[in-house]
Amino acid sequence: MLKFYTLVFVVGVLGIASCDSLKETKVYVECQGTALGFNCTAEHKQGSKRAKACWTAEVICQNGTVVRGNGCLTVGKDEKSSILIPNDKIENLAACDAVKTTAVKDLVLTIAD
């Protein structure tokens, strides 16, 4: 099995404009591979509304295998929160030989109530 804790960083940023505010909401998502899975952090960077961020952490391997894990976190103004996407929730992990590229994909933000 591939040891992701050696060097895997994936980052994404997405902003949404709320209907009742001119200020844009921005959430920064970073995931790091660890021996236990993807450790992902969402940080609310701009705006006053609580936001729910959902994403896919993706690794493309040297042998062409695509490894994916999904996560969601809700963060308020200036908050930071983390979640572990455990290895047993990551698709194709055992088939990956070595990391070629990493990304946070399909990042979706919604205003949380």
- Is the per-residue pLDDT at 21 higher than 60? no
Q: What is the mean pLDDT of residues 66-95?
A: 96
- Is the per-residue pLDDT at 7 higher than 50? no
Instruction: Give me the pLDDT at residue 111, please.
Output: 85
pTM of the entire structure?
Answer: 0.83
Instruction: Please report, for the chain, the start and end positions of each structural domain, with discontinuous segments joined by +.
Output: 4-111
Q: Determine which helix (DSSP H) or strand (DSSP E) holds 98, and give its type and residue range.
A: none
Q: How far apart are CA 7 and CA 90, in angstroms?
A: 17
Instruction: Give me the pLDDT at residue 96, please.
Output: 93
Domain 4-111 indexed as CATH 2.60.40? yes
Is residue 95 helix, strand or coil? helix
Q: Is the dihedral of CA 62, 39, 54, 111 positive or negative?
A: negative
Tokens representing 67 are: 């490894």
Closest CA to 17 of 9, 5, 26: 26
Per-residue pLDDT band at 109 (split at 50, 70, 90): confident
38-73: per-residue pLDDT in tens? 999 999 988 888 989 999 999 999 999 999 999 999
Q: How far apart are CA 60 and CA 67, in angstroms?
A: 6
Q: What is the mean pLDDT of residues 65-87?
A: 96
Print burial letters for 91-110: b (CB count within 10 Å at least 16), e (below 16): eebeebeebeebbbeebebe
Q: What is the mean pLDDT of residues 4-23?
A: 51
> Going by C-beta distance under 8 Å and a sequence separation of 6 or more, which residues neighbour residue 95?
61, 63, 65, 67
